[in-house]
Amino acid sequence: MFLENNVNHLKKLGWIEVICGSMFSGKTEELIRRLKRAEFANQKIIIFKPITDIRYSQNKVVSHDSNEIESIPVANSKKILELSKDVDVVALDEAQFFDNEVVDVSNQLANTGKRVIIAGLDMDFEGNPFGPMPYLMAIAEFVTKVHAICTETGNLANYSHRISKNKDLVLLGEREEYEPLSRNAFNEKLKTDVEEKLPMIDKVDMHSQFIEERVIDLETITDKLRNNGTHD
């Protein structure tokens, strides 16, 4: 369990905490837990989320277990600086969806003595580092990686496998769209996904080959007609 940094009351010091992991790993749960502890200690808190995240609520951060806390949706990271002047703790949820300026914004907040708590997916559905998360993890004093349970093996899961066929990078969803998987299970599913695409790829190749053959036939017929015209 994460314990808060020792506070030097003689000098107001800021820092950055990052909570990362796969879907269904409890990132938002942990974010809300830390915020409620700070709130209980009479610290002024403010929470932001990307304006695109409207899965459960327009103006709340809500976990998969329905725990919630009031939040402010923002379209860009610069807005966070404007709204965080008179608070002690600044929190960001779904940080992978923020623009890259969130890295500089987080540094500025911490440098002015604020505690910054960030939660987000560290990898996308293809297993690649997601958005600004790697950079946020690099500048953070504290990084907590939480895990889900693999739906295939029961082992710790740190990958988010997309079940739906939608290939957009940003796709907000729940259990209908994603499942948490361990490394081996994730690699097996990726292999299966590729194999399922192969018949379609073969059909496309066959269609392309058919078109090429028809073009060659037309060129041959055209040449013959030209030659016949020359002889006449």
Place of tokens 């998360």: 133
Nearest CA to 17 out of 147, 133, 137 is that of: 137
Choosing from 17, 30, 94, 179, the catalytic residue is 94
**What distance in Å separates the CA atoms of residue 181 and residue 159, rounded to the nearest whole number?**
5
Contacts for 166 with CB less than 8 Å, ≥ 6 apart: 177
Q: Is 94 a residue of the active site?
A: yes
Q: And the tokens for 158?
A: 């740190």
Residues labelled as active-site residues: 94
